[in-house]
């Protein structure tokens, strides 16, 4: 298979983990006889510094021409600490999702046996947790009408029926491929937009009689994720709620550095770790590359290259079992491995299989 991949390393630790993801993808392609071309493009604070735009037109073109985008992270404290900034790195991420038509964010949450002790939750609560959060990406408050002055500000949380129907269709279809249990998360007791979500979900549920559907307010869902994470199979929700809940899900696995994601829709799909740019760790060779590497596994699986994705997951599990880990997940007294060393170990493992 010929694959053309756009590589958007971004800011902070992005370039470091991006290098590991590219290395693993290249190793898998060599192993399975695929041809792969990597085309790099700028985004985020890096792009603002260079061209004044966090998602410039040239980057959009590189992404549009690719089969998939391997994205890392954007964000910089210079912008976080300046509420008057008119252009922000994160606007590049939102623009990428909007311009590529990526309305569905797929975030698997799972545990690793050897890392149960790293979760802040009790091992007996998280052991066996395995669910998918499906977040709507291009609607809601992040994209609705906005206003701000010195006395007043608002963000409009608007959704249309077609936007809700298409993301719910993704969720129902994922549930059909898994344990056939779907949880629709909303705030229908307060928000009109949530009541529309619930109404449409109830209508669509009639087309999927094999799927058990339950409805949960977002505050209850946040609590239930901590109290009983094994309850969930597929969870679907709107943009803002999804942003919060999926980050909360990282507590279950024990580190945000372990969770990959995919963003899909009408344009080029994007595969990325769920964590941010962690600028404080930039250049220190301590960032965990596993979420980026597992995003590569999701990329292969998206193209039905199942054996390729399986080999990456096998290599990641082997690295964890061998305690080849970055400091955030290393056992007490374990040898120190950096971003580069973990990535290279996984590449070597794949090459030798």
| Catalytic residue IDs | 142, 187, 219, 243, 247
Per the CB < 8 A criterion, the answer to whether 315 and 20 are in contact is no
Q: In 46-145, which ranges are E strands?
A: 68-73, 104-110, 130-136
CA distance 50 to 170: 37
Per the CB < 8 A criterion, the answer to whether 221 and 185 are in contact is yes
Q: What is the DSSP letter of 61?
A: H
For the CA atoms of 136, 20, 259, 169, the dihedral, rounded to the nearest 10 degrees, stands at 30
Helix (H, G, I), strand (E, B) or coil at 144: coil
Cβ-based neighbour number of residue 158 at 10 Å: 15
Cα end-to-end span (Å), the chain: 20
HSE of 23 in the Cβ direction (CA atoms, 13 Å)? Answer: 21
Taking every pair of C-alpha atoms in the chain, what is the biggest distance, in angstroms?
Answer: 63
């Amino acid at each position: 298979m010929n694959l053309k991949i756009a590589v958007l390393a971004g800011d902070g630790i992005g370039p470091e983990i991006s290098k590991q993801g590219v290395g693993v993808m290249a190793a898998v392609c060599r192993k399975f006889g695929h041809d792969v071309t990597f085309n790099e493009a700028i985004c985020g604070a890096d792009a603002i510094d260079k061209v004044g735009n966090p998602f410039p037109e040239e980057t959009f073109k590189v992404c549009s021409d690719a089969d998939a985008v391997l994205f890392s992270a954007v964000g910089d404290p210079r912008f976080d600490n300046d509420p008057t900034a008119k252009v922000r790195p994160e606007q590049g991420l939102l623009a990428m999702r909007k311009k590529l038509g990526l309305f569905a964010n797929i975030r698997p949450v799972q545990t690793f046996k050897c890392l149960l002790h790293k979760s802040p939750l009790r091992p007996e609560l998280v052991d066996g947790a395995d669910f998918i959060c499906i977040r709507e990406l291009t609607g809601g408050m992040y994209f609705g009408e906005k206003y701000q002055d010195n006395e007043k500000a608002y963000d409009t949380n608007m959704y249309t029926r077609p936007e809700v129907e298409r993301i719910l269709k993704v969720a129902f279809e994922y549930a059909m491929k898994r344990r056939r249990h779907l949880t629709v998360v909303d705030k229908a007791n307060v928000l009109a937009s949530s009541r529309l979500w619930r109404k449409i979900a109830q209508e669509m549920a009639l087309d999927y009689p094999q799927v058990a559907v339950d409805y949960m307010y977002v505050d209850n869902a946040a609590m239930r994720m901590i109290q009983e994470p094994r309850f969930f199979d597929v969870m679907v929700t709107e943009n803002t709620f999804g942003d919060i809940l999926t980050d909360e899900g990282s507590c279950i696995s024990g580190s945000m550095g372990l969770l990959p994601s995919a963003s899909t829709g009408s344009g080029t799909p994007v595969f990325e770790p769920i964590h941010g740019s962690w600028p404080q760790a930039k250049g220190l060779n301590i960032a965990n590359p596993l979420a980026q590497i597992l995003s590569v596994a999701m990329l292969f699986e998206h193209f039905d290259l199942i054996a390729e994705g399986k080999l990456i997951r096998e290599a990641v599990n082997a690295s964890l079992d061998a305690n080849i880990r970055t400091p955030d997940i290393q056992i007490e007294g374990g040898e120190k491995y950096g971003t580069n060393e973990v990535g290279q170990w996984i590449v070597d493992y794949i090459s030798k299989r």
